[in-house]
Structure 1
Amino acid sequence: MWIDGRKGQKVQQLKSSIWFHFASLGEFEQGRPVLEAIKQQYPAQPVVITFFSPSGYEARKNTPLADAVYYLPLDRAANARDFVNAINPVMAVFTKYEYWYHFFNELHTQHVPLYMISGIFRPGQVFFKWYGGLHRKMLKLVTWFFVQDINSKHLLHDLGITNVTISGDTRFDRVWANAQQPKELPQIAAFKNGQKLFIAGSTWPADEQLIAGLITQHPNWKFIIAPHEIGEDKINGLMSLLPKESTIKFSGISNLKSDSSCLIVDNIGMLSSLYQYADIAYIGGGFGAGIHNTLEAAAFGMPVIFGPKYSKFKEAEDLVEINAGFSINSQDGLNSVASMLMNDEAARHAAALTAKDYVAKSVGATNTIMAYIKERH
C-alpha cells in the first residue's frame, strides 16, 4: 500500500492552500486540534493533508477536514518542487517528528512558513550527534518550533536555534475535547451492565498473554480487549487465550449473554470512545517499540497500566511520577498492580482523579500556536 498508493497519485493544482503533514494516524489525532482551528480561522483556504504511512492515509483519506489527502511523495528534490508548486501552500504545519530535507528546503526556497507543532527533542536524537549535520540543517529550515517541554527548547538553543515556543502537546487538547463529548456506545454499556470494567487498548501479543492471565483472577470484573491488529488470524489467536464460554467479539455482540465477561473489539476506531466506560485501563505496546496513547484513557479519569518501555513518552513518565500511571514488566507485576487498584477503591479513585487533573491542567497548546499564527497570517 505504501508503494502502490504513491504510484498512481495525481496531485490537484491549487492556487493556494494550507498544508498539514502527519506521519500516521496517531499524529493526525495529535495535530487535529490545530487543523480544526485553522479550518475555523481560514474557512476559504483549501486544506491539503499528506501522510507518510498507509495507516494514516487509509483511515483518513476521506476526512471532511481536508480538501485533498495524499501520500507524501518520496523525499526527492524534484518531487518536493513539483508537489509544492502544485498545492501552492501559504503555510505548512508538520507534527512532532516529521523532518524531510527536500520538502523543507523547497518550502524555505519559496518563502513558505513552516511550523513544527508538538515537537519534542532528546539528547539521543541524530540532531545532537556529531554526524547529524544534515539533520541540523533541516532544523534551520523551520520557521517556528512549538515544543512540548523546556528540555526541548534548551536542546534547540544549544544548537543556536531560538525560534522556539513552549506550547505543550496538542494531544492534550484532542483527548480532553474527546472526553467532554464522547460518542455513546450502547452495546458497551449493555456489556458492562453496571459492573467494574478493565479495558486493554492497542494491545500486542505480549500484552494479551498478561491480560489473559489476569482475567481468571477477577471473575467479578468485565474485560474488554481492543488489539492493535485486527486481522482474522490475530483475533482468533487472541480468542484462544480467553475463556471460550464467556468471551464474545464486538462483531457478534448481538449474541451478548448475561454471563459474557470478556469482549474483543475486532474493529478500528472505537477505542477513544470505549474508555468512557472503563474503571482501569491497560495501554499496549510497552513490551515492543513503545506504549500507545495513554492520554485518551487518562482524560476520562482512570489509572493507566503499561509495560516497561515508556521512557520516550513524557506523559507516561509524568503519570508514573504522580501515581496515576503504573508500569509493569511481568505477569506478577500486572497481577499485583491490577489487584491493588481493583480491590482498593480509594486508591483507584485517587489515581483516577489525579490522571484526569493532569490532563485538564495540560490543555492549551492549540491556543498558543494559533495566537502566533493569527498574528502572522
Structure 2
Amino acid sequence: MRLLYNFAIRAYLFITGIAGMFNPKARLFNRGQKGLLESIRSCVKTESPIIWVHCSSVGEFEQARPIIEWYKRERSRYRILLTFFSPSGYELRKNYNLADWVFYLPIDTTSNARAFLDHVKPVKAIFIKYEFWYNYLHELNARNIETYIVAAIFRPSQMFFKSYGGFFRKMLCNYTTLFVQDNQSASLLKGIGITENVRICGDTRFDRVYQITHSSASFPYIELFAKDHFTMVAGSSWAPDEEIMAKVLKNFPRTKLVIAPHEIGKERIESVVKCFEGYKVIRFSEINAKYGESAGKDISTLPDSLKRLLQESNVLVIDCIGILSSIYKYGKIAYIGGGFGVGIHNILEAATYGLPVVFGPNYMKFKEAVDLLELGGAKSIKNATEFYSFISTLSNVPSELQKRGEISSGYVRQNLGATEKIVSVMEKV
C-alpha cells in the first residue's frame, strides 16, 4: 500500500505539472516546489529549537495562528517554521511576521521527508485539522519527534474507519497527541483502538475570531456606507450566492450589501458587478484609488464627495484580500458563501460580532454551522424564496434580529479556550 501511496503522490506532481500550463493555481504550486529543499537549506539556519507548523491553506492557518502566537509570547526561545500545501495559503501568508520562515511543504515523498527533517530537525511538529502525510508522519515517528494534530475532525466516511483502511489507520498511530474538536471524533478513534493519546479540546478558531473583535481594523467609509441601514455583509461569495442575493435584495430598498467574493481576479469582480446591474455599485479599490489617505480615520473627516457617493450607493464590492474579518462588524446580518458549491466558508468570523448567519445547503461538514442552526443563530437556505423570507423577518422584527445575533456571539464565547488546553498538553504545564 505504501508503494501505491508513493506512486499516487508522484502522479499528482506529474498531473499538476501539466495542469500548470492552463491553471494559475497549479502553476504557482509547481513554481513553489521548484528548488524548494535547496531554499529551505539555505534559509533555515539557527541554533534555537524549531517548531514546525503545517497548514493546508488559509482556513487551517487561522486555526494554527493562536498556537503560534502563544509560543511567540510565552516560549520565545522557539523558532517557528510554517509550511503550506496550497498556493492560496502560501501566497496570502508568506509574509506572516510571527513565523520565522514560511515555505510550501515539499511534496510527500520518502526522500523529501527525510531531507526536510534532516535539515530542519524540529523538536515539535504540529499539523492542522486534516493534514495526514504518510512519509512525513513515518519519519517523524522514527525520529521520536513530538507530533500533534490540532482541531481535527473525524467522520465515519473517512478511510480510517473503513475495512480497507489499515494503511491510513497506521498514520494516526504516529501522533503523540490527537487534539480533536468533538466527542464524535473521539468515539470514532476509540472504535479503532486509539484512545490514550486523544484529547477533546475544541477548535482554536473560536479563540482567533474572538481575538479579532478586540483588534480589528476600522474602515470609516464602510461604516458610513452601512450607517442607518439594514446592512448585510456577504463573505467569500460565489456566483450562485450572488445570484440569490441580487434577486432578493431588490425587494428591500433600505437594505445595503457589502460583498467580499471568495476570488478577486479582474474577471471575477466584473462578473459580480454585472450580477448587481440595476444597483448602485462601488468598489473598495476605487475608493482607495480616488481618495486614498483623504478617506480619513473616522466618519467626520471624510470628504463630502465621498460621503455622497457612499450614501447614494447600495452595493460595496470588497475587491481586495485580508480585511473581511474586520468588516463584519458593520453589518446586521452575514451571508457566508460556498453553500451552493463544495461547502461553506468561515461563519465564526461573523458570529463573533453577534451577527445571525445565513448560508446555502452544503454545510454538514462544518460542526459550527450545525451547532448554530440547532441553536437558532444561523439559517440554511435552498433558494431565493427562503432567503427572502429570512431577510424579511430579520429586517422587520428587531427582537428576532437581536435574539439570533446574541445566540451567535454567545456560541463563540462558550467555545473559547482550546488554545490553552492544547498548549498545556504540549508543554506539560
Alignment of 1:368 onto 2:425: no
What is aligned with 1:52?
A: 85
Q: Is the 8 A contact 1:182 1:276 kept in 2?
A: no
Q: Residue by residue, what CA displacement relative to the aligned partner does 1:87-135 show, whole Å, maximum 9, x if unpaired?
A: 1100011110000000011111111000111011011111111121111
Q: Is the 8 A contact 1:204 1:227 kept in 2?
A: yes
- 2-structure distance, mates of 1:333, 1:37: 43
Residue of 371, 393, 399 corresponding to 1:340: 393
Percent identity of paired positions between Structure 1 and Structure 2 = 45
For 1:34-183, what aligned pairs fall within 5 Å after superposition?
34-162=67-195, 163-183=197-217
Larger radius of gyration: 2
Give secondary structure in 2 for the equivalent of 1:282: strand
Residue of 263, 276, 279 corresponding to 2:329: 276
Alignment of 1:208 onto 2:236: no
What is aligned with 1:3?
A: 30
Q: Is the 8 A contact 1:300 1:356 kept in 2?
A: yes
- 1-structure distance, mates of 2:405, 2:117: 46
Structure 1 gaps of 5+ residues are none
- 1-structure distance, mates of 2:243, 2:356: 20
What is aligned with 2:342?
A: 289
Higher helix residue share: 2
Q: Residue by residue, what CA displacement relative to the aligned partner does 1:35-68 show, whole Å, maximum 9, x if unpaired?
A: 1111222212211000000111111111111111
Alignment of 1:320 onto 2:396: no
Kindly state the Cα deviation for residue 325 of structure 1 after the two structures are TM-superposed.
0.4
Alignment of 1:197 onto 2:239: no
Q: Residue by residue, what CA displacement relative to the aligned partner does 1:140-178 show, whole Å, maximum 9, x if unpaired?
A: 001101110011111111111111111000011101111
Kindly state the Cα deviation for residue 80 of structure 1 after the two structures are TM-superposed.
0.3
Q: State the AA in 2 paired with 1:302.
A: L
Q: State the AA in 2 paired with 1:157.
A: K
Kindly state the Cα deviation for residue 13 of structure 1 after the two structures are TM-superposed.
4.2
Q: State the AA in 2 paired with 1:365.
A: A
Q: Is the 8 A contact 2:279 2:315 kept in 1?
A: no
Give secondary structure in 2 for the equivalent of 1:115: strand
Kindly state the Cα deviation for residue 183 of structure 1 after the two structures are TM-superposed.
1.2
- The number of residue pairs the alignment matches comes to 376
- 1-structure distance, mates of 2:330, 2:133: 40
- 2-structure distance, mates of 1:32, 1:244: 41
Q: Is the 8 A contact 1:35 1:65 kept in 2?
A: yes
The runs of at least 4 consecutive aligned structure 1 residues that moved more than 4 Å come to: none
Q: Residue by residue, what CA displacement relative to the aligned partner does 1:329-351 show, whole Å, maximum 9, x if unpaired?
A: 11111111111111111111100
Kindly state the Cα deviation for residue 257 of structure 1 after the two structures are TM-superposed.
4.0
What is aligned with 2:65?
A: 32
Alignment of 1:263 onto 2:294: no
Q: State the AA in 2 paired with 1:115.
A: Y
Q: Is the 8 A contact 1:14 1:87 kept in 2?
A: no
Give secondary structure in 2 for the equivalent of 1:289: coil
Give secondary structure in 1 for the equivalent of 2:258: strand
Kindly state the Cα deviation for residue 224 of structure 1 after the two structures are TM-superposed.
0.8
Kindly state the Cα deviation for residue 193 of structure 1 after the two structures are TM-superposed.
2.8
What is aligned with 2:6?
A: none
Q: 1:121 to 1:343 in 2, by over 3 A?
A: same
Alignment of 1:188 onto 2:215: no
Aligned residues: CA RMSD: 1.2
Give secondary structure in 1 for the equivalent of 2:125: strand
- Between stretches 177-186 and 363-372, larger displacement belongs to 177-186
- 1-structure distance, mates of 2:228, 2:77: 47
Q: State the AA in 2 paired with 1:325.
A: A
- 1-structure distance, mates of 2:68, 2:249: 40
